[in-house]
Each structure stands twice: as structure tokens, then as C-alpha cells.
């Protein structure tokens, strides 16, 4: 672990469970916004409803992968 990683772990350990959960939620929101933006980029004429459907399909595919 390098110094940056160690510092990050120190910061995380100083947070309450609620703060860490909020951080995780923020990261997930950013991930979904990024995914939606990418889908919109490749489907510029898609309506909001179509984008919602495409995002749901992408998530289904992502979470159904066997590891």
C-alpha cells in the first residue's frame, strides 16, 4: 500500500458508518450518471423513457454476469 492509499484508509477509518454509507451512495450515483451519459452519447435521439429502459437493460446485463 502506498502513502496515498494509507492516507485514504486513514480518512475512511475516521468516518462514521453513516458517513461511509453516504460516500458509497454518492459514488454509486456518479456511476449511474456516467453510465446514463454514455448511453445517451451513443443514443442521442433516445427519449428519457427510452434512456431509462436502456439503463435498466445495461444494469440487468451487468448484474447477471457469472464470475
Residue ranges of domains in the chain = 17-63
C-alpha cell at 49: 423513457
Rounded Cα distance between 9 and 26, Å, is 18
pLDDT of residue 62: 85
Q: Show the CA angle centred on residue 50, arms to residues 39 and 61, nearest 5°.
A: 55
pLDDT of residue 41: 98
C-alpha cell at 53: 429502459
pLDDT of residue 39: 97
Whether the CB-CB separation of 54 and 39 falls below 8 Å is answered with: yes
pLDDT truncated to tens, each residue of the chain (67 aa)? 899 999 999 999 999 999 999 999 999 999 999 999 999 999 999 999 999 999 999 999 988 865 5
Amino acid at each position: 500500500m502506498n502513502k496515498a492509499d494509507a492516507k485514504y484508509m486513514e480518512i475512511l477509518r475516521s468516518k462514521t458508518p453513516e458517513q461511509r454509507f453516504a460516500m458509497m451512495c454518492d459514488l454509486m450515483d456518479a456511476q449511474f450518471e456516467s453510465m446514463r451519459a454514455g448511453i445517451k452519447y451513443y443514443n442521442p435521439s433516445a427519449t428519457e423513457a427510452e434512456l431509462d429502459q436502456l439503463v435498466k437493460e445495461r444494469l440487468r446485463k451487468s448484474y447477471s454476469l457469472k464470475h
